[in-house]
Structure 1
């Protein structure tokens, strides 16, 4: 694990890359929502869901390592729930998104913003990760080209019925082609699977009927 040193404070490099990727995904999706005159609620839900993941992941150590917390209460401040806590956070955040989408009846809008946010953010993460790992220029350019192509493809809102197909292709490329050969953590790899699958579920017209 690569670490960045700031005086006496150290932080994992992949945390910094993840933060930059989330900011990049948020900026692009904000432009998308404004350009298409969509409600901002879907983007706000995604940001809230990310906050839920962080909180659950951080404090899930109480669930998965209660003995340590019982012996040293301050460990809650310094440790997390690990991989188990991260997946628990993903599960809870999805329940939050599904509940909010059902309550506000914006399944399709949420699914398209989630897919764009995830595609842009994950693509940027792959790009930054490749640079920091010293990958060759061909690999770096392939991430840039593929992500740009996906973003252009997703920008068109005139065919929302094809969104599950688009999400399926993004899933195949990001998860099956790009990630299987790479040495990323299980949590990093799982994101390539989860965000398109969530978009497919939320946009499934057979399960949900709503007017867009």
Structure 2
């Protein structure tokens, strides 16, 4: 794996690319909000995403206590230098999603905008990350190219045809992306820890498919 040395700290390049994708995704979301929503909602939605990202970061760092509690007990400062890796990232994503929907439902933002904003931001981040990874990472090129092109195509469609981004289209896109990601994960060689035959990342996509099927046609407030 490619590593960037920052003083005494070594950081995997893929985490830096993910960080860049998170902020670029916010810029794309802000452009979309300016194009489709009233100005009064811009700050409220963006602040919600900033808070969700911060909560996800805390979950990611804190996940080390769940994954390797012995290390944290012996050396509490390890929380500053280490993370929970890919498994921790999955926990962070789940935590930030729960936080996002919990806080959004307590606001005056409609269910439609909550779903559209979350969908657009998620796919923008995934698309930007995979396209950056295609250019800068050496491993899993096919995975990055396919996932990047698919997600970015969805973002472009959502950006320019926002009136057609319905609840059914959103969850259909999530189901297709999850199946695509699962297929690619089985093709590539993985050293991730397995939980009942699947990795944490694979289980995340399995659950995402199930949740998407449940909410595909569920009525929501407009």
TM-score past 0.5 threshold:
yes
Which residue of structure 1 lines up, in the alignment, with residue 218 of structure 2?
206
Calculate the TM-score normalised by the size of structure 2. 0.72
Q: Distance in 1 between matches of 2:70 and 2:32?
A: 47
Q: Given the alignment of the two structures, is residue 53 of structure 1 paired with residue 65 of structure 2, yes or no?
A: no
Deviation at 1:144, TM superposition (A): 6.2
Q: Paired residue for 1:33?
A: 33
Q: Say if 1:99 and 1:68 are closer, same or farther in 2 by CA, change over 3 A.
A: same
User: Cα RMSD over matched residues?
Assistant: 3.7
Q: Is the 8 A contact 1:118 1:195 kept in 2?
A: no
- 5+ residue gaps, structure 1, are none
Asked if the contact 1:69/1:75 (under 8 Å) is kept, the reply is: yes
Question: Aligned partners of 1:57, 1:138: CA distance in 2, in Å?
Answer: 27
Q: Looking at both structures, which has the greater relative contact order when contacts are Cα pairs under 8 Å and sequence separation is at least 6?
A: 1
Per mean C-alpha deviation after superposition, the further-off stretch among 124-133 and 164-173 is: 164-173
Q: TM-score, normalised by structure 1?
A: 0.75
Please report how far the alpha carbon of residue 5 of structure 1 lies from its aligned counterpart in structure 2 after TM superposition.
Answer: 2.4
Residue 102 of structure 1 corresponds to which residue in structure 2?
A: 105
* Separation of aligned partners in 2, 1:63 and 1:143: 30
CA 1:143–1:67 in 2, change beyond 3 Å: closer, same or farther? closer
Residue-pair matches, total: 208
Whether the 8 Å contact between 1:68 and 1:75 is mirrored in structure 2 is: yes
Gaps of 5+ in 2: 193-198
1:18 is matched with 18
Distance 1:110 1:202 in 2: 17
Q: Say yes or no: does 1:124 pair with 2:128.
A: yes
CA change 1:134–1:71 in 2 (3 A) is: closer
